[in-house]
Structure 1
């Protein structure tokens, strides 16, 4: 709720600034679709745990551009999108009835946690673009809030293949974002400020404190 209030405040303040700065034919918008591909690092592993295979992330959505000055080089971006993130490791999640248990198994063939999220990026945008120039340098930094729509844990061990909907995750998540680049191709990073699991997930008596770090490419499309 606090995030929604802050978001509305930013929108109203930005629109007020735009109204003050408006000059006929000088203002333009960078309304954009975005697509991203990332490698997902897992920070804060418990003892004996490590990443395996290729942990990847996909994201896509649209961002509304709100210019803050006459030149359009500074703006606020507010958007919404969807994301899929997978995390492979030797951490095995299993379920019995309503109880989810966790263990570390180095003999596991594959163990994956997959999340599906509804995301809400909020960016402060700097770029050296003009109303006529569509190839430009950009630096976009901000915060991204997300709500986990669903999460699934799965593992393969010998002839056993198990999967289930995992409810031990923190539903509302947020983190810092930074995008930097030229034209369509840009480097992108996301650092989570919330832990992936809620306090119910334990392994060897230790609370799981996984925190994602995602680094990859993001493509902005007008």
Structure 2
């Protein structure tokens, strides 16, 4: 009789041990809520005499609240909050003479170590999202478009040569609010990022004969997680 019970129990025990673990899928999942990006910056809408002479870039990061708007969760809107640092290396010399901000073009052939302006912003993006994600996989195609309002927390221009050094901090001619539109597309975590500035960096023209005040075009990569 003892052998009979063992014969019945052992196969049953083995069957229960081999049952696959059942995973509960989250049908209310959200995607891509943290982001980090780097870009190459191009000066756009500039006076003819202004030119870039070195690599300029930006780094940015932040959080976006993913809010799906359809049952399959393939369409969503995502408001967010982030920070950016950007710099532009070019030949526009900015210096302060008492209370007056002066602008001029560095003569060709002049040797100097550094000339750039940079700024730090707090960003408020709003994204409109499409992706073919599912609850089973975190690998999917995406196309996101957005608009972004940025508040300039700090700006600085700096010129350094063997003879002179000029620095202007929080130039009052620099616009406090910057606006842009952007597009990102790709697969999985890494994606191409393109951004176009909608307004000028500066409030007034640098030279009387020119109305351009410099905008930006940014091309780079953005990475989404969680």
TM-score range, shorter chain: 0.7 to 0.9
Quote the residue 1:74 is aligned against. 75
Bigger drift between 105-114 and 174-183 goes to 105-114
Tell me, yes or no, if structure 1 residue 173 matches structure 2 residue 173.
no
Deviation at 1:99, TM superposition (A): 0.8
Maintained 8 Å contact 1:176/1:193: yes
SS where residue 217 of structure 2 aligns?
A: strand
SS where residue 202 of structure 1 aligns?
A: coil
Maintained 8 Å contact 1:27/1:70: no
Tell me, yes or no, if structure 1 residue 143 matches structure 2 residue 143.
no
Give TM-score scaled by structure 1 length. 0.85
Maintained 8 Å contact 2:96/2:168: yes
Q: Deviations over 1:31-80 (max 9, x none)?
A: 52110000010012212210011110000001000001011100001100
Quote the residue 2:46 is aligned against. 45
2:158 & 2:72 partners in 1: Cα distance?
51
Selected match of 1:216 from 193, 216, 220: 220
Provide the aligned length of Structure 1 versus Structure 2: 198
Q: Deviations over 1:100-131 (max 9, x none)?
A: 01000132522100010000110100000011
Deviation at 1:167, TM superposition (A): 2.1
How do residues 187-206 of structure 1 correspond to structure 2 at under 5 angstroms?
187-199=192-204, 201-203=205-207, 205-206=209-210
1:75 & 1:204 partners in 2: Cα distance?
46
2:211 & 2:111 partners in 1: Cα distance?
21
2:164 & 2:50 partners in 1: Cα distance?
21
2:195 & 2:132 partners in 1: Cα distance?
23
Quote the residue 2:125 is aligned against. 121
1:108 & 1:169 partners in 2: Cα distance?
27
Which has the greater radius of gyration?
2
Deviation at 1:206, TM superposition (A): 3.0
2:80 & 2:177 partners in 1: Cα distance?
17
Give TM-score scaled by structure 2 length. 0.83
